[in-house]
Structure 1
Amino acid sequence: MLTIAFPAAAFGTNCYVLATGEGEECLIVDPGIGIEETLREVLTQNRLKPAAVLLTHGHIDHVFSVTPVCGADTAAYIHSDDRYRLVDPIGGLDSGLVGMLEQQFGQKATWTEPSNVIEVTDRETLTLAGLDLDVLHAPGHTEGSVMFGFGQLPEGVRAPEELDRTMVTGDVLFAGSIGRTDLPGGSGAAMERSLREVVLPLPDSTLVLPGHGPATSMRRERSTNPYLQGLNA
């Protein structure tokens, strides 16, 4: 699986481009703030055509560029419980944060809802761009946070541990941490359930590609992540 990752211009959000290989259709995961130019370069260099955009949740730092990336034809996939966040994610931001973004990018922050949005549900299996993926609903960071699972590894992965699958975890699970639960729509109790019932059952052989920070593995997180300690799947 061709996998290209790069950070957004704000908040360090990881944007992922996934495909079966160069010259094929691709999936774009979490197109955040200021990613458009880098994304165009990635698509051109690898001769990729977007088939779909996958959104792990509806926070602005993960969806800011979804509409220009999707254009009129490409669908954006998001869990039904976070669908409402695509109506106007900027409207719910603190005015100071909006001002900071406008100052950084030199233009007024505006939002247009994507024209083609497809709602996904828990345990749904999708086949997009020649890739089979599973949707795992894991609320806590937001009501509709999801993780996307693939039965392949990125090309060129060399690790000391046996890995055979990939999970794009958004802001559910990071290397050594988890997503915060104190924002609107977040829930500590829901996050604990998601960690216990959705994250912990993942095989140790799972490569974890988080929404922020470096990649990790379930084996490593199970043994070192303090938020998983003391939980029983």
Structure 2
Amino acid sequence: MLITGFAAGMFQTNCYLVAPGDGGDCVIVDPGQDAMEPLREVLATHDLTPVAVLLTHGHLDHTWSVAPACREFAIPAYIHPEDRHMLADPGRGMGPGMAQIIGDAEFVEPDEVIALAQGDHLALAGLEFDVLHTPGHTQGSVDFLTTAQTEQGPVPVALTGDTLFAGSIGRSDLPGGNHQQLLDSIAARLLPLDERTVVLPGHGGQSTIGDERATNPFLAGLNVG
């Protein structure tokens, strides 16, 4: 499996490309601000063809380039219905202090938007993804679980967006956020995963579920499962 990407825009949002390997289909996860040029470069480097965009949630720093990417590659976007409204009206997901970031930029939905739900199983680009609904950062936040085939055997991977970071958790002070709900989502849906599960968050470096259980100060005292 190939998992690569880059940090995009002023928010340094991780945009991931996931594929079975070089020279085939891939999915794009969370194409943020100013993502199109680096996205084209990574696609060319690895000879990849996108078949879908997966969105962990609707905040603008994760969706800024979703419509251009879907239009350029003629592919659909997948998002949870609770966050779909932010695709065309991102200001609804931002506090007043952040709305000025939008300026006079205009946003539209991609031509094809597919709804995600808890427990969905997606077969895309020769890969399989399970969808976990983890509200709290936003009401439509989701995580995508897949499996990387390595020389040491299969390794589970979780793309966690802004729900869980290395040593931290997502903020809950923006519209639709709820701190207790976020903790409950993490405890119920993420912490029970195999401790070897690699955590690929929306910002910053990677971790594992085992490391987050043991050392993340925001998760101390949570009842798992």
- TM-score band by shorter chain is over 0.9
Which residue identity does 1:62 align to in structure 2? Answer: H
Query: Structure 1 regions of 5+ residues with no counterpart?
Result: 103-107
What residue is the counterpart of 1:138 in the other structure? 134
What residue is the counterpart of 1:75 in the other structure? 76
Percent of pairs identical after alignment?
49
Which residue identity does 1:211 align to in structure 2? Answer: G
* Pairwise CA distance, 1:37: 0.5
Report SS of the residue matched to 2:16: strand
Normalising by structure 1, report the TM-score: 0.89
Q: Could you give the per-residue CA deviations for residues 185-219 of structure 1, whole angstroms, max 9, x where no partner exists? A: 00112112102111111110100000000000111
* Pairwise CA distance, 1:23: 1.3
With over 3 angstroms needed to count, the CA separation of the structure-2 counterparts of 1:93 and 1:136, relative to structure 1, is closer
* Pairwise CA distance, 1:97: 4.2
1:195 and 1:115 map into 2 onto residues whose CA distance is 32
Task: Give yes or no for contact 1:70–1:76 (8 Å, CA) kept in 2.
Answer: yes
RMSD of aligned alpha carbons: 2.1
Matched, 1:151 2:181: no
Task: Give yes or no for contact 2:94–2:174 (8 Å, CA) kept in 1.
Answer: no
2:101 and 2:111 map into 1 onto residues whose CA distance is 28
The size of the alignment, in residue pairs, is 223
Normalising by structure 2, report the TM-score: 0.92
1:100 and 1:187 map into 2 onto residues whose CA distance is 23
* Pairwise CA distance, 1:119: 0.2
With over 3 angstroms needed to count, the CA separation of the structure-2 counterparts of 1:94 and 1:197, relative to structure 1, is closer
What residue is the counterpart of 1:29 in the other structure? 29
1:43 and 1:143 map into 2 onto residues whose CA distance is 31
Matched, 1:124 2:125: no
Report SS of the residue matched to 1:193: helix
Q: Which runs of 4+ in 1 moved over 6 A?
A: none
What residue is the counterpart of 1:105 in the other structure? none
What residue is the counterpart of 1:109 in the other structure? 105
2:117 and 2:93 map into 1 onto residues whose CA distance is 25
Q: Could you give the per-residue CA deviations for residues 103-148 of structure 1, whole angstroms, max 9, x where no partner exists? A: xxxxx42212111000010011110010001000000000010000
What residue is the counterpart of 2:207 in the other structure? 216
* Pairwise CA distance, 1:96: 6.2
With over 3 angstroms needed to count, the CA separation of the structure-2 counterparts of 1:177 and 1:44, relative to structure 1, is same
Report SS of the residue matched to 2:114: strand
2:41 and 2:22 map into 1 onto residues whose CA distance is 13
